[in-house]
Amino acid sequence: MSLLDYIDQERLPNHIAIIMDGNGRWATNKGFERGEGHKEGVRAISRVVEAATKASIKYLTLYAFSTENWNRPAEEVNGLMDLMVYAISEETEKLKKNGVRITCIGDMDRLPEYARTALIECIDQTKEGNTLTLNIALSYSSKWELTEAARRIADDVLNGVLNKEDISEETISMYLTTHGIPDPDLLIRTGGEQRISNFLLWQCAYAEFYFTEVYWPDFGEKDLYEAIIDFQGRERRFGKISEQIECNSTGSKPEKEQ
Residue 242 CB contacts under 8 Å (≥ 6 apart), including other chains = 235
**89 assigned to a ligand binding site:** no
Residues of the chain under the 50 pLDDT cut:
252-258
Instruction: Return d(Cα 18, Cα 231) in angstroms, integer.
Output: 14
- Rounded to 5 degrees, φ, ψ at 127 are -65, -20
**23 assigned to a ligand binding site:** yes
- The reported pLDDT for the residue numbered 90 is 87
Q: Is 109 a catalytic residue?
A: no
- The reported pLDDT for the residue numbered 184 is 98
**68 assigned to a ligand binding site:** yes
Among the listed residues 5, 8, 21, 155, the single catalytic one is 21
CB atoms within 10 A of CB 124: 11
**34 assigned to a ligand binding site:** yes
Among the listed residues 8, 69, 163, 230, the single catalytic one is 69
**180 assigned to a ligand binding site:** no
Percentage of the chain lying above the pLDDT 90 cut: 84
- The reported pLDDT for the residue numbered 255 is 45
**124 assigned to a ligand binding site:** no
Q: Which contacts (CB < 8 Å, 24+ apart) does range 174-180 have?
A: 175/149, 176/145, 176/146, 176/149, 176/202, 176/203, 177/105, 177/106, 177/140, 177/145, 177/148, 178/61, 178/105, 178/135, 178/203
- The reported pLDDT for the residue numbered 1 is 72
- The reported pLDDT for the residue numbered 86 is 87
Q: Is 69 a catalytic residue?
A: yes
- The reported pLDDT for the residue numbered 257 is 40
- The reported pLDDT for the residue numbered 89 is 84
pLDDT averaged over every residue in the chain: 91
Going from the N-terminus, what domains does the chain have, and what CATH number goes with each? 12-141+185-232 (3.40.1180.10)
**47 assigned to a ligand binding site:** no
Three-class secondary structure assignment of the chain? CCHHHHCCCCCCCCEEEEECCCHHHHHHHCCCCHHHHHHHHHHHHHHHHHHHHHCCCCEEEEEEEEHHHHHCCHHHHHHHHHHHHHHHHHHHHHHHHCCEEEEEECCHHHCCHHHHHHHHHHHHHCCCCCCEEEEEEEEECHHHHHHHHHHHHHHHHHCCCCCHHHCCHHHHHHCCCCCCCCCCCEEEECCCCCCCCCCCCCCCCCCEEEECCCCHHHCCHHHHHHHHHHHHCCCCCCCCCHHHHHHHHHCCCCCCCC
